[in-house]
Amino acid sequence: MSTHSAQTQLQLVGKLILSGDLHCETGLHIGAGKGSLEIGGADNPVVKDAFGLPYIPGSSLRGKIRSLLEHALGLTSPAELVYLSKRRGQEVRIHQSDRPDDEICLLFGRNPGRIERVEGEAIEMRAATPARLTIYDAPLDTESITPQMRENLDDEITEVKSENAIDRITSQANPRTLERVPAGARFRVRMVLDILCEEDKALPARLAEGLRLLEDDALGGGGSRGSGRIRFANVRLAWRNRAFYSSGAAETELASGADLAAVQALANDGSFAEKLAS
């Protein structure tokens, strides 16, 4: 639980670096829109980089982790939500508050100004809160797509999953296709958590909670239909204090080759804050 208050002073203590592998346990679909369809191609292609390789946008990971934490902390009631977008048919509602100890806002940031709430009067955010958490785009480890996998893929890197929507009156099938990164693919993830005050040292445990929630949920589209099950592995946790940046001091390795259970146990250990020495 956060102990931040309106009087908390912010000054960089250091950065916690989390890196590791994200394994696809089932096919993964993070959509790129439908602006570049080809004849015979999938209706819903996956997002790809300039080299034509699938990747996981940092925004997709960040948004999913935030959503899962909001639900876990009971912050999705109308009174706790604000409109990020209110365009009809494209409403986006997220949690945001003006409480100084709100860990969601501490992790993901908030801007000052007037914000319309889903229920109740609009709120006036008095001050900006810098986002502590940065999540980078996760590139595909091409070696995880083995020659045996390539023999059975629809494309060199991806597969096409065929689905049918059934009309409940006529029983007519309406086929659709979904491009996916195949099960067995591996992406390289990197996250940086800024520690800007002593009170921030409670945030790594909250991040670990969000990552573990993601392992038992789904990333990307089609999660309720079998896509998007992922697992984190080979996690490395390193601490870089101010001296690392100001004078070239060595970083401190806190975990290596770990799974999320070990990372969470470390973050929840009573002595963890002492390891994040200034």
The overall pTM is greater than 0.85? yes
Q: Please tell me which residue, 277 or 262, carries the higher pLDDT value.
A: 262
**Quick one: pLDDT at residue 277?**
81
Span 25-51, average pLDDT: 77
Confidence of residue 43 (pLDDT cuts 50, 70, 90): low
Task: Determine which of 124-128, 182-186, 244-248 has the lowest per-residue pLDDT on average.
Answer: 124-128
154, HSE (Cβ side, Cα atoms, 13 Å): 16
CA distance 102 to 191: 21
Q: At a CB cut-off of 8 Å and minimum separation 6, what does 142 contact?
A: 53, 157
Q: Please tell me which residue, 4 or 27, carries the higher pLDDT value.
A: 27
**Quick one: pLDDT at residue 37?**
45
Structure tokens at 221: 């589209």
Span 115-133, average pLDDT: 89
| Residue 242, helix vs strand vs coil | helix
Specify whether the CB–CB gap between 42 and 199 falls below 8 A.
Answer: no
**Quick one: pLDDT at residue 156?**
87
CA distance 70 to 68: 5
pLDDT mean across residues, the chain: 91
Confidence of residue 35 (pLDDT cuts 50, 70, 90): very low
